[in-house]
Amino acid sequence: MGEPIADPDRPGAVPLRRTPRQARSRARLARVLEAAERVLVDEGVEALTTTRVAAAAKVSVGSLYQYLPDRDAIIDALAAGYFARLEAVMDDFVRTAAARDRDDPVGMLIDAFAALYRTEHGFRALWFGSGLTERARSADREHKRRMADGVRRLLLALDLAEDDEALGRACHAAFLAADALAQEAFRRDAEGDAALLDEAKVMLRAYLTQVTARYRRA
């Protein structure tokens, strides 16, 4: 698991009962979350109790309570980690946009996220297991807004549109549609239903072509 989970300054970060400052404490928290993910993937979201996770991490329940006081906090922390990794992929995509193939940024973006979905078994177990807490659902809405803003930033980086509020709304709609199709593709097949992912590319290309025509730079 990555350190962004424990970073209180990162947007969407989960407020831990106590933020680990020392390297040893941060490593212990990372070990706990790695164990929690193993339990989630192997046994399902129902097994994510503090007792079970502490045992899997080989730490005392009291040690776990320092950071994650209950099952909901564990779920929220796992969700925050998945959000951070997805957002990091988007940020990298935007940062290197100029060097990428400008002919099909949509196809490359969907392929990049499909590759991440294939490796994030815990993400799929948590979302498809209907175990999200209210905090995680709220964080997911904010995560989707940040990802939509990544689409907006990508279009701007490729010099395909002028920036305004309407462009932001269009990118939000585009991301919500693509995200729904991607999740359905991985509900159908652990490797991602290739035909449905291809349809997602067709849909998103067509929609973003219309969007960039409306908001293209003069």
Give 125-180 pLDDT, tens digit per residue. 888 877 789 998 999 999 999 999 999 999 998 888 889 889 999 999 999 999 99
160 plus 87 within the same structural domain: yes
Q: Please say whether the beta carbons of 34 and 57 come within 8 A.
A: yes
User: Into how many domains does the chain fold?
Assistant: 2
Tell me what pLDDT residue 5 has.
45
Share of the chain above pLDDT 70, in %: 88
Domain boundary (27, 43, 65) is at: 65
53 plus 78 within the same structural domain: no
183 plus 98 within the same structural domain: yes
85 plus 26 within the same structural domain: no
CATH number at residue 49: 1.10.10.60
78 plus 180 within the same structural domain: yes
143 plus 114 within the same structural domain: yes
Give 172-195 pLDDT, tens digit per residue. 999 999 999 999 999 999 899 999
* Structural domain harbouring 175: 72-214
175 plus 88 within the same structural domain: yes
Tell me what pLDDT residue 38 has.
94
Tell me what pLDDT residue 10 has.
52
Count Cβ atoms below 10 Å from residue 216 Cβ, excluding itself: 12
CATH number at residue 201: 1.10.357.10
> Is residue 3 pLDDT above 50, yes or no?
no
**The most confident of 1-5, 53-57, 92-96, 153-157, by mean pLDDT:** 53-57
> Is residue 2 pLDDT above 50, yes or no?
no
Q: Share the mean pLDDT of the chain.
A: 86
Rg (CA), the chain: 19
51 plus 77 within the same structural domain: no
- Work out the pLDDT band at 8, boundaries 50, 70, 90: very low
Torsion 18-23-24-29 (CA) sign:
positive
